[in-house]
Amino acid sequence: MVKAKEKQYFGTDGIRGRVGSHPITPDFMLKLGWAAGKVFANNDKGRSKILIGKDTRISGYMFEAALEAGLTSAGVDINLLGPMPTPAVAYLTRTFHAQAGIVISASHNPYDDNGIKFFAGDGTKLPDEVEFAIEEYLGKDITTVDSQFIGKASRINDAGGRYIEYCKSTIPSEFKLAGLKIVVDCAHGSTYNIASNVLRELGASVTTIGASPNGLNINENCGSTSPEQLVKEVLAEKADLGIAFDGDGDRVVMVDHLGNVVDGDEIIYVIARDRRRRNVGFGGVAGTLMSNLGLQLGLEALDIPFTRVNVGDRYVMAELKSRKWQLGGESSGHIICLDVASTGDGIVAALQVLYAMVSCGCSLHELTGKMSKFPQTMINVRMTQKQDLSKNASVQDAIKAVEATLGKKGRVLLRPSGTEPVVRVMVEGEDESMVAKLAQQLAASVEEAVS
> pLDDT 10s digit of each residue in the chain, 451 long?
444 578 999 988 899 999 999 999 999 999 999 999 999 986 656 689 999 999 999 999 999 999 999 999 999 999 999 999 999 999 999 999 999 999 999 999 999 999 999 999 999 999 999 999 999 999 999 999 999 999 999 999 999 999 999 999 999 999 999 999 999 999 999 999 999 999 999 999 999 999 999 999 999 999 999 999 999 999 999 999 999 999 999 999 999 999 999 999 999 999 999 999 999 999 999 999 989 989 999 999 999 999 999 988 889 999 999 999 999 999 999 999 999 999 999 999 999 999 999 999 999 999 999 999 999 999 999 987 777 888 889 999 999 999 999 987 888 999 887 667 889 999 999 899 999 999 999 999 999 888 7
Question: Which pLDDT score is estimated for 208?
Answer: 98
Beta strands in 241-297 (DSSP E): 241-245, 252-256, 261-262, 285-288
* CATH number of residue 384's parent domain: 3.30.310.50
Is 372 an active-site residue? no
Residues 103 and 196 in one domain: no
Active-site pick, 73, 105, 107, 342 = 107
Residues 142 and 271 in one domain: no
Amino acid at 128: D
Residue 7 lies in a domain: no
What is the pTM assigned to this prediction?
0.91
Residue 189 lies in a domain: yes
| Domain final residue, candidates 157, 176, 193 | 157
Residues 194 and 316 in one domain: yes
Residues 153 and 167 in one domain: no
Sign of CA dihedral 129, 52, 171, 195: positive
Residues 97 and 241 in one domain: no
Question: How are strands ordered across the β-sheet holding 205-209?
Answer: 205-209, 181-185, 241-245, 252-256, 261-262
Residue 3 lies in a domain: no
Residues 109 and 169 in one domain: no
| Domain final residue, candidates 89, 123, 157 | 157
| Domain final residue, candidates 132, 157, 182 | 157
Within 8 A by CB and 6+ apart from 46, the residues are: none
Residue 408 lies in a domain: yes
Q: What is the dihedral of CA 104, 106, 108, 111, to 10 degrees?
A: -100
Question: Which pLDDT score is estimated for 114?
Answer: 98
Residues 324 and 288 in one domain: yes
Residue 9 lies in a domain: no
Residue 233 lies in a domain: yes
Count of beta carbons in the 10 Å neighbourhood of residue 174: 5
Residue 346 lies in a domain: yes
User: Do the beta carbons of residue 219 and residue 108 sit within 8 Å?
Assistant: yes
Domain of residue 383: give its range. 376-450
Of 82, 73, 118, 81, nearest to 99 by C-alpha is 118
Residues 59 and 120 in one domain: yes
Residues 94 and 114 in one domain: yes
- DSSP helix, strand, coil percent of the chain (3-state; round to 5): 40, 20, 40
Residue 184 lies in a domain: yes
User: What does the alpha-carbon distance between residue 389 and residue 423 come to, in Å, rounded to a whole number?
Assistant: 9
Residues 190 and 330 in one domain: yes
Residues 322 and 194 in one domain: yes
Of 357, 346, 338, nearest to 284 by C-alpha is 338
Number of folded domains that form the chain: 3
Residues 292 and 428 in one domain: no
Compute CA 355 distance to the chain's CA centroid, rounded to the nearest angstrom: 21
Question: Which pLDDT score is estimated for 2?
Answer: 43
User: What does the alpha-carbon distance between residue 92 and residue 112 come to, in Å, rounded to a whole number?
Assistant: 27
* CATH number of residue 38's parent domain: 3.40.120.10
User: Do the beta carbons of residue 296 and residue 411 sit within 8 Å?
Assistant: no
User: Do the beta carbons of residue 155 and residue 148 sit within 8 Å?
Assistant: no
